[in-house]
Amino acid sequence: MASISVLGIGSGMDLNGLLDQLKAAERQKLQPITLQKRAQQAKISAYGKIESALTSFQDAVTKLNTRSTFQGVASQVSGSSVKAAAGANAPVGSYQVNVNSLAQAYSVATQGVADQNAQLGGGTVSFTRGDGSNFSVEIDPDKSSLSDIRNAINQSNQGVQASIVNDGSGTPYRLVLSSTETGTDAGLTSIDFGGALNGELTLDANTEIEARNASLTVNGIAITSQNNRVEGAIQGVTLDLEETGASTVNVARDTELTTDAVKEFVKAYNNLQKTMADLTRFGGEGGTNGELLGDSTLRMIQQRMRNVMSAGVGEGDMRMLRDVGIDLKLDGTLELDESKLDNLTSTNMTALANFFAGETRDGGLSGKLNTSISQLMDSNGPIKNTTKGLQDSIRRLDLRFERMEDSIERTIERYRTQFSQLDSMVARMNSTSMYLMQQFDIMNAQMGRK
């Protein structure tokens, strides 16, 4: 218990100060509980870091457990007539693409009117597309200006865009009607103005732009397309036609996709190892130990990861990490030989895919790691169970803290009662002392001693 100092003031005893010191001394009993709770909370936070690092590693593992990671292709184009994007199923090869013509959308304008806001009368605007389909837009007589007709056509959302241009003449306002898509199917083969509009609006044939399909050849094979984005002309490749002319599209294996995935795998595993090492350090900066030093659950996680990584796979041309250019070092981290990996991605991608992804989803190293990590982070797994145990321990400490606080308050109340009694007793003694001193003074005076 802390030392107590008493300061004499007033009646001679600072009982309030003494009581405060006693209370502070009693509350020191709460400090061990507070420290234990803080240590448990630090462990929970530490396991949160472990889970985060495991999740990041599992993400990298999942990417290597996908066959498409080892089947990536990239396209390069020589020439400016097309742009190309290759998908995973595009075959490796070189393709000569000659663009003869680009797809074109239909467009036509009406003869001009003097006032775009003047009412032209009600009626119907009827359209027929190149694919044989048709639609009509009804025009209200009270909303039949050129602007109203434009708005009605656009609001119908039928693949025709209407706009108004001003050509600067005496009757400058023209209604321009355009297909929103290219190609002959979307093009307009007829436009009719019915009702009162028939005498007010007529098409200007000189402004008509015919719809046209794209025309190209791929390795000499003639191809037509309704638009300038062509899919299927080359398996797995999307061509965007830019201009007429010839281009060469080269589809090659994309080894960078695989290399980046392996590098991410190594980086994520090393980050996991560093996280666990920091949490189990002894001493370190300032002599502070890691929050999970000596923790059995963390030791189990480390051992399980090490076992899976060192065991490799049971079959195939590549069975151990070192076969794919990855060394498992003594400190538990991985070291990647990039030159060896580059050689494998260029010459033996199939064996590399079999090592990581396996013939089945759980057969390769990535599948084994993914299974192990999932078990560790399962809702009934060791990490969740350990965290739950720590949370239960904190709740018990909170109850102990509350009970100890109640006990301290009772003790302080007892001290307060005793001090009150002491205060009364001292007051009475002081009063008696003063009375006796007065009597002695009187007696001495009577006896002539003063």
* Furthest CA-CA distance within the chain: 149
Helices (H) and strands (E) in the chain, counts: 9, 17
Residues 261 and 237 in one domain: no
Q: Which of 214, 208, 207, 229 is nearest to 183 (CA)?
A: 214
Helix, strand or coil for residue 79? Answer: coil
Residues 114 and 151 in one domain: yes
Residue at which a domain ends, from 192, 223, 253: 253
Residues 405 and 433 in one domain: yes
- d(Cα 49, Cα 26) in Å, to the nearest integer? 37
Backbone angles phi, psi at 106, to 5 degrees: -75, 145
Total number of domains in the chain: 3
pLDDT reported for residue 419: 67
Residue at which a domain ends, from 226, 253, 280: 253
Residues 365 and 341 in one domain: yes
pLDDT reported for residue 370: 94
What is the torsional sign of CA 94, 99, 102, 103? negative
Expressed as residue numbers, the domain containing 235 is 73-102+214-253
- Encoding tokens for residue 94? 């070189």
Residues 247 and 119 in one domain: no
Local structure of residue 221 (DSSP, 8 states):
E
pLDDT reported for residue 201: 94
Local structure of residue 10 (DSSP, 8 states):
T
Residue at which a domain ends, from 184, 209, 234: 209
pLDDT reported for residue 172: 96
Residues 131 and 163 in one domain: yes
pLDDT reported for residue 9: 39
Residues 195 and 239 in one domain: no
Burial of 34 (0-12, 13-18, 19+ CB in 10 A): exposed
- d(Cα 27, Cα 1) in Å, to the nearest integer? 10
Residues 197 and 243 in one domain: no
Residues 275 and 288 in one domain: yes
Q: Chain centroid to CA 167: how far?
A: 52
Edge to edge, the sheet with strand 221-225 lists: 73-78, 245-253, 93-101, 214-218, 221-225
Residues 188 and 281 in one domain: no
Q: Quick check: 131 and 273 in contact, CB under 8 A?
A: no
Cross-strand pairs, 276: none
Residues 68 and 90 in one domain: no
pLDDT reported for residue 365: 94
What is the torsional sign of CA 256, 258, 263, 268? positive
Q: Quick check: 88 and 254 in contact, CB under 8 A?
A: no
In the chain, which stretches have pLDDT less than 50?
1-10
pTM of the predicted model, to two decimals? 0.62
Residues 164 and 287 in one domain: no
Q: Quick check: 392 and 91 in contact, CB under 8 A?
A: no
pLDDT reported for residue 437: 82
